[in-house]
Amino acid sequence: MDMQGAKVAKPWVEKADATYPALVDQSNKLGTKFQYNYVPLIILFNEQGRRVYGPQNFSIGDSEDRELLTGWLNDEPGVLAHRQASDGGQNGEFSEAEAALRFQYANYLLRNDQKASAVKQLEKALTSDPDNWIIHKQIWAIEHPEKFYDGNVDFGWQKEQLEREAQQNE
Amino acid sequence: MISKTFRTLITISLMVISLGIMPGKRQVLGDSMQSIRIYESTEDTTYHTAAIARGNQLYLSSNFLTSSLGLERKPLPNGTTGLCLGDLCIPMVSRSGDDPVYQEDNQEYYSINYFLDALGSRYTWDRESGTFLLGLRASNQQSPEQGTTPVEFSLPTMDGQEVQLSDYRGRKVVVFAWASW
């Protein structure tokens, strides 16, 4: 999902020693197609390529999430239906056409070394779609790369940043 | 002391600056030719071209539309003409008082948002940077409802190999979306 592309995602994929294909979605193609506005999440497709679940938030550290996934992979009946009923409508929507367009344009600008213009477009995209965490965090990552790409992601800083922004908006 | 003529010029300039191309707004850039940037999201490309805005329509030259965006004016079986992207044609008939065609200096200009509206495509005007953002081949149509028709998408791997969902037909697929942040 990183707008900065494979180079920032690669260390995480290597660390996970992933045996599955890791795909790069620099322009949020799937977020636009499946209308989600946050990560991490999963989407499940059956053998015919039909979407049967998601997008829904997912954490491999969560035992219920793991049970859902293993249950589905092992053809346990009703495992998705039960979860969908309890999850009902929790996934957000990357539905703002303007936000999606501006996000893509910001990506183009960033790749062409126009960082300030890219951030401006992302800020406008966020105004159109204020609950979109993909846009929100992407702005942080561009403006404060040291909090994201110098070793571990600084989640403490993200929490403080949220508090700072809340104070500014009061 | 600012002369009356100069004050008038400033007023006109400010009026032009304050107008924007927005669907539903009657006034836009004004009738004068302006140079704008166009970002087309499905090709992920920018272009610079001359544009005229009249009513709530943005007009681009037929030459530009054909050479850069692949839109062509073609005769339709019912005797009218259409603005076409491949085999998909939108009849060029006046709607809501906005003419889809504008002529100036022996050059034809076609309304781009007329076409995009009919197609259900996305577009927006970024007034600050003078950029018209559009998704010519990306409509507002949403992904198929869960469980109905097979879905298709493709994305590159870390080393640039394109992978399609249909490459995994016959197998269950788990897509886990994440970011480093």
Question: If DSSP states are collapsed to H, E and C, what string results for chain A?
Answer: CCCCCHHHHHHHHHHHCCCCCCECCCCCHHHHHHCCCCCCEEEEECCCCCEEEEEEECCCCCHHHHHHHHHHHCCCCCHHHHHHHHHCCCCCCCCCHHHHHHHHHHHHHHHCCCHHHHHHHHHHHHHHCCCCHHHHHHHHHHHCHHHCCCCCCCHHHHHHHHHHHHHHHC
Predicted local distance difference test score (pLDDT) of residue B1: 44
pTM for the whole structure: 0.72
More confident residue, A144 or B57: A144
More confident residue, A87 or A5: A5
Contact B173 A149 (CB under 8 A): no
Predicted local distance difference test score (pLDDT) of residue B143: 59
Reported as a pLDDT band with limits 50, 70 and 90, residue A42 is very high
Predicted local distance difference test score (pLDDT) of residue B96: 67
pLDDT tens, N- to C-terminus, chain B (181 residues): 445 554 544 443 333 333 344 443 333 455 667 889 999 988 889 999 999 887 778 899 999 999 999 999 999 888 888 899 888 888 888 766 778 888 888 888 998 888 888 887 888 888 889 899 998 876 545 555 666 788 899 999 999 999 999 999 999 999 999 988 8
Q: Which of A30-34, A77-81, A107-111, B144-148 is the most confident on average?
A: A107-111
Query: Residues 101..140 of B with a Cβ closer than 8 Å to A: which?
Result: 122-124, 126, 128-129, 131, 133-135, 138, 140
Contact A97 B146 (CB under 8 A): no
Predicted local distance difference test score (pLDDT) of residue B138: 63
Predicted local distance difference test score (pLDDT) of residue B164: 95
Contact yes or no for B151/A51 (Cβ under 8 A): yes
Nearest by CB: B147 against A32, A50, A149: A50
Average pLDDT over residues A17-33: 89
Average pLDDT over residues A79-107: 68
